[in-house]
Structure 1
Amino acid sequence: MTRKRGWPGPPVRGIGLGALAVGAACAAPMVGLDGFIGELAASWRPHIVLGTLICAAMAFAVRFLLLAGSLVALAVVLGADVARTEMDSAQAEARSASRNGDAAVRVVFANILIVNDDTDKFVAWIESSDPDVVVATEFSPGHVQQMAEAMGNYPFQVLQPRWHPYGMVIYSRYPISGEAVTELVKDTPPASAPIIVTVGVETPAGTLHVTGLHPFPPITPQRLARRNEQFAIAGDILVDTDVPKLVVGDFNATPWSAGLRAFVSDNDLTGFNTRATWPAWFGLAGIPIDHAFVSRNLRILDIETGPDIGSDHRPILISVSPVRSP
């Protein structure tokens, strides 16, 4: 005669089955099922791995061994992908970089938040970190005015501010050439369209092709499709040249997003950021959606996440150097 399980068996079973469902959705993009639910779940993949293991321990404690084993197996599959992404990350590349005294170009990317009316924290961090190039999005005409004096140390400027979240600016202490501004959505009114800004920065080590990108957030299935379309448009703009390329932005996608992985692969880029940048108040428990990708002829020497700048994002600072010819 089988002994009937009492409390807490039924709740644990329900929680465990729910964790299996969430984990399966999280794994869906890994097998080519690039849907809206899978995208959202994959954005929190490390968190889901941890939650799945906790649920597995709960199931094991009440002797639901099949459920516990299934949860552990799912956590291993998801965790292996998280580990693989970490091995391919900008952080991993920076740890293994050999500097050899090479001159580095230091670039900041920041989403400063369109409604952020106190830019003092951002300016203070720029002054202390002393980058060569600053790329920022959610930049309004008011922000340009507020920071005009502080950004005077960057005489070469491309200013495309907007009163909506898709304004973009690039400040550089080195000369800028080949400026290009392109709308990412052709059927959206210019007053609200995301843009991609591309410039050539004439650094002491040679020309660096810098691109700033901020596509739609995937908050609905339609917006997910539009974001991926914007990745494709951006890819067409990233001309196939031998000039080293750095692509920075708020991609509204994590390293586990199928759409972002396709963008990186299709354009032969490297450098997933795996450190949390959003939401800023989550700290280390947030997710990485702000990235800095490089072409194969650039090396990532260092990448770090910046402090609270009054935005819902934390900025990133990346140091790059051209790859030496053998």
Structure 2
Amino acid sequence: MSDEALSADKPSVLKMPVSFGGICEIIAVLALTFTWLGSLGRYHWTFDLVSHFRLQHLVACAVVLVFALFRRRSWMVFAALISLLWNAQIIHAFHQTAERIEAKGEKPLRLMVFNVLSPNHNHVAAIEHVLKVDADIVCLLETDETWRLSLEPLRVKYPHRLEQLDHGYFSIACYTRLPLKSSEVRRFTVWELPTVLLNLDHLGAPLTFIGIHPDAPMGGLKAQQWRLQLSQIGSIVDGIAGEVIVAGDFNATPWCEGMRLLCEKSGLQFRSVDPVWPPTWGLNLPMMIPIDHVLVKGGLSVQKRTVGPEMGSDHRSVVVELARVRAL
């Protein structure tokens, strides 16, 4: 028999049939691989993008673990279990980041941050929701020119405001009943996205509130500018003495590299009694993630945190109650 005949009888690897179980094993391996790629966010923006989906990785690892047990693949059981525990400990680190304290006669400071979504047509319900919460500080995002008239009830209710309504999806409007000492708008990135700074008085002590909405890190340039903006905000906060609150749509999850850089550079912390990992964006999607946050510095602690109802936006509002843990 010739070599050609032997070669013809030998099946090609590419032509070998793959069983359904084999395909499932390949998918399982890919799912576990993405879990670990998400831990390499500091090296490339695509890895950091994967890191946002820790909740989904946790579920995927649990499914793979069950599948591996069913298939009796001991190596896969071990890999799935380690990956499951890895994701669980990352998420659990943000389950409770502060201790509950007893009120000392001071009324808690209530703050609301809400990305209302620029094309959201449900203006009335959204604004009624804001009014009902009755927060001391309100930070609304994506309030473009189409929202100008709808914001009038807030202008009536709150004595102080700072609005930037001409930046489309990055418009921002802040309202407060706290005594306002000064306010300003800082612009970041090549797109000059606005960030608002309010210098307030809170129970006789200075309080700086910063409302932010960086662009989503989707793509090389946007990811670079996203990190740069978070880093620059971190530098600003680092130079502020006293209590600081930074709130908004960060387009960042608590465990991503951009958030780590911000907190490391600024001294900001979540410092929350309630977990900060529940999703705030995409709650009707399988890829829902927590990207709307309130971070603090100084003597403040988040003693209560709630995620609001659906109001026509792809985001839910976040309402927190802050208390002073210690004297500055």
CA contact (8 A) 1:114 1:163 kept: no
Decide whether the 8 Å contact of 1:56 with 1:68 is kept in 2: yes
Partner secondary structure for residue 165 of structure 1: helix
Question: CA–CA distance in 1 between the matches of 2:121 and 2:59?
Answer: 37
Counterpart AA for 1:45: R
Kindly tell me the number of residue pairs found equivalent between the two proteins.
Answer: 307
Q: Per the alignment, in what secondary structure is the counterpart of residue 93 of structure 2?
A: helix
Query: Offset at 1:238?
Result: 2.2
Matched, 1:27 2:39: yes
- Amino acid paired to 2:231: A
> Which residue of the partner structure matches residue 11 of structure 2?
none
Which runs of structure 2 are paired with 1:3-42 in the superposition (5 Å)?
7-29=19-41, 33-42=42-51
RMSD: 2.1
Instruction: Compare 219-228 and 143-152 and name the one that shifted more.
Output: 143-152
Q: Deviation at 1:60? A: 1.9
Residue equivalent to 2:270: 271
Equivalent residues of 1:99, 1:301 under 8 A apart: no
State the AA in 1 paired with 2:208: H
Question: In 1, are the aligned partners of 2:280 and 2:292 still within 8 Å (CA)?
Answer: yes
What is the CA distance between 1:163 and its match in structure 2? 4.4
Gaps of 5+ in 2: 1-17
Match of 2:63 among 13, 38, 54: 54
Distance 1:253 1:34, change over 3 A: farther
Which residue of structure 1 aligns with residue 10 of structure 2?
A: none
Q: Paired residue for 1:254?
A: 253
In terms of Rg, which structure is larger?
Answer: 2
Which residue is 1:287 aligned to? 289
After superposition, the Cα gap between the structure-2 partners of 1:265 and 1:163, relative to the gap in structure 1 and judged at 3 Å, is closer
Whether the aligned pair in 2 keeps the contact of 1:43 and 1:256 (CA below 8 Å) is yes
TM (norm. structure 2) is 0.87
Structure 1: which amino acid aligns with 2:151? M
Counterpart for residue 182 of structure 2: 178
Contact 1:269/1:295, CA 8 A, preserved across alignment: yes
Q: CA deviation at 1:205?
A: 4.7
1:81 is matched with which residue: 86, 90, 96? 90
Answer whether contact 2:238 2:267 (CA < 8 A) is retained.
no
Indicate the residue corresponding to 2:12 in structure 1.
Answer: none
Gaps of at least 5 residues in structure 1 are: 1-5
Counterpart Cα distance in 1 of 2:180 and 2:227: 29
* 1:140–1:45 Cα change, 3 Å: same
CA distance 1:201–1:180, shift in 2 (3 Å): same
Given that residues 244 and 322 in structure 1 are in contact (C-alpha distance below 8 angstroms), is that contact kept between their aligned partners in structure 2? no
Q: Which amino acid aligns with 1:43?
A: H
* Structure 1 counterpart of 2:194: 195
Quote the residue 2:79 is aligned against.
Answer: 70
| SS of equivalent residue, structure 2 residue 76 | helix
Q: Deviations over 1:156-197 (max 9, x none)?
A: 111111241111111112221221111112x33xxxx31110
Amino acid at match of 1:117: H
Identity across matched positions, percent: 21
Seen in structure 2, the aligned counterparts of structure 1 residues 15 and 242 have a Cα distance that, compared at 3 Å, is same
